[in-house]
Amino acid sequence: MFGRRKKDAAEAATGETEQVEDLDPQSEASADEEGAPGRVNLPPAPRPDGPWDVSEVTRPAEGRVDLGGLFVPGVEGMELRVEVAGDAIVAATVVLQDSAVQLQAFAAPKKEGIWGEVREEIASGITKQGGVIDEVEGPLGWELRAQVPVQLPDGTGGVQVVRFIGVDGPRWFLRGVISGQGAVQPQAAGLLEQIFRDTVVVRGEGPMAPRDPIVLKLPEDAQMVPEGVKEESQAESRFSGGMGQLQRGPEITEVR
């Protein structure tokens, strides 16, 4: 079952509009206050457990939803939502009960990873807004666990807890944003982490600038539900640092 709903593109899931400083994606890593060099972009690390490049998988569509730039594993009871920026579909969110993981893939340089630099940019953007960041080594490597100040629907202040995970692949970078109970209790996020690991990225052979989003498409068997039939159940992070700010637009929801 698919549902489409139009929201104001500048409206956040909690009803609050927030601005995140957009860093120059081509800028050099800057030195810190003591003059020490910034984080150096290293070659992509091995990925023995995924996520996978399409060249590494014999049957990428087997057990996965074909979104063009991503093949997303299908799990019983999940909702799969795709999100747009302008006219392009650029992210997918898997919702499982009270947790969710947003998946977004970007082009990356051929010989170096960008996750270390992106983590710095995300952390900087959140701390400037009064949030708290903890950089830890989790099940998927280095990640950010963030407490983000948000405005609740009743106008009072609150905190949204999210986890930013990421993996560098061959000429691409896959970012995940885990929210809900999977972020509050990371030990409860095993299935979401496995979905992230088993996702297949289709970068394509065409030229793309580093950090350009890899565009997705709707599944061929998508069925639309009238606007307003299904209400939002998960807040989404608006903090993407130098990766660009993903705005809300029409949504497609699949219930498997």
Concatenating the DSSP letter of every residue in 192-232 gives HHHHHHT-EE---SS---TT-B--B---TT-----TTSS--
Q: In what order do the strands lie in the sheet with 88-96?
A: 132-138, 141-151, 157-169, 172-180, 99-107, 88-96, 79-85, 252-255
Q: Kindly state the average pLDDT of the residues 223-245.
A: 40
Q: Tell me, what's the pLDDT at 41?
A: 63
Is the confidence at residue 231, as pLDDT, over 80? no
Name the more confident of 32 and 95: 95
Is the confidence at residue 129, as pLDDT, over 70? yes
Report the share of the chain in percent with pLDDT over 90: 50
Which residue has 């580093």 as its token pair? 210
Name the more confident of 187 and 102: 102
Strands 70-73 and 64-66: antiparallel
pLDDT tens per residue, range 99-116: 999 999 999 998 889 999
Q: Tell me, what's the pLDDT at 43?
A: 67
Q: Tell me, what's the pLDDT at 223?
A: 56
* Distance of alpha carbon 72 from the chain centroid: 13
Q: Tell me, what's the pLDDT at 184?
A: 93
CA distance 194 to 49: 9
Is the confidence at residue 54, as pLDDT, over 80? yes
Virtual torsion, Cα 139, 134, 147, 103, nearest 10 deg: -40
CA distance 14 to 46: 37
Q: Tell me, what's the pLDDT at 222?
A: 63
Establish whether the linkage from the previous residue to 46 is cis, with ω within 30° of 0: no
The whole-model pTM stands at: 0.74
CA distance 173 to 46: 13
Which residues in 41-64 are b (16+ Cβ under 10 Å) and which e? beebeebeebbbbeeebeebeeeb
Q: Tell me, what's the pLDDT at 238?
A: 35
Residue 7 identity (one-letter amino acid): K
Name the more confident of 195 and 3: 195
Is the confidence at residue 19, as pLDDT, over 70? no
Look over the chain and give the mean of its residue pLDDT values, rounded to a whole number: 76
Is the confidence at residue 143, as pLDDT, over 50? yes
Name the residue ranges covered by the structural domains of the chain.
52-123+164-255
Q: Tell me, what's the pLDDT at 5?
A: 36
C-alpha count within 13 angstroms, C-beta hemisphere, residue 193: 18
pLDDT tens per residue, range 57-89: 999 999 999 999 999 999 888 999 988 888 888
